[in-house]
Amino acid sequence: MFEDLNPLDKPTAIFEIVIMLVVAFLIGYFTRWFANRNKTERTKNNQSSEYELNTYKEKIKISNQEIENLKSELSEHKKTCNKLKEELIEHERIHFELKHKLTKPEPKFKSKEEAAEALGFKLAHENDKEDLTIIKGIGPFIQEKLNELGIYTIEQISDFTIDTVIKVTDAIEYFPGRIQRDFWVEQANQIISDRNK
């Protein structure tokens, strides 16, 4: 179709220029249209991303608040649990004391000297008697049971070995493991250490 056109012919040259301008215009127009369309989509995407980001930030803020509330509740529950454990220990102690007061078993040893030798603690005299109830876990009833064996002083308790603890626990018929859990020996050593300061 364009074979017969002479590039040197004036109308042909004008026609070619017009066609090139139309093509250039169309290329520019569509390029601009695509660019605007991409920009609009990017803007929408940015707005959408920003909205999502703000939504996530808000959700994180709410989650952090819930975590803090749960931590606070957990702390309260731990306090309650510890209080209940202490009450349970006290009730067990009272039950133990009442049960043994009702049954009042015969002494296991003929003398305090025999008890000291069998159980593995130093013998003390009744005149050296101290208030053993300053050790947490020893109440008046347990102090009485210890005194029956010949255990009168804090120093005697501070010298207990594991073997002595087991034998004394059995002799006073106390809850197994309670002497270790209440740290009688450690408390006794601390009391002696405080006295020597």
Residue 125's pLDDT is what?
82
Residue 154's pLDDT is what?
92
Q: Which of the four pLDDT bands, split at 50, 70 and 90, describes residue 4? A: low
- 185 vs 56, more confident: 185
54-94 pLDDT tens trace: 888 888 999 899 999 999 999 999 999 999 988 888 888 78
Q: Which of the four pLDDT bands, split at 50, 70 and 90, describes residue 109? A: low
Residue 180's pLDDT is what?
87
118-176 pLDDT tens trace: 777 888 888 889 999 999 988 888 888 889 888 999 999 999 989 888 888 888 877 77
Residue 12's pLDDT is what?
72
| Residues 98/87, Cβ–Cβ less than 8 Å | no
Question: Quick check: pTM over 0.85?
Answer: no
- Residue 102 pLDDT > 80: no
Q: Which of the four pLDDT bands, split at 50, 70 and 90, describes residue 31? A: confident
Residue 182's pLDDT is what?
87
8-28 pLDDT tens trace: 677 777 777 888 888 888 888
Write the secondary structure of the chain as one string of H (helix), E (strand) and C (coil): CCCCCCCCCHHHHHHHHHHHHHHHHHHHHHHHHHHHHHHHHHHHHHHHHHHHHHHHHHHHHHHHHHHHHHHHHHHHHHHHHHHHHHHHHHHHHHHHHHHHHHHCCCCCCCCHHHHHHHHCCCCCCHHHCCCHHHCCCCCHHHHHHHHHHCCCCHHHHHCCCHHHHHHHHHHCCCCCCHHHHCCHHHHHHHHHHHHCC
Residue 107's pLDDT is what?
57
- Residue 2 pLDDT > 60: no
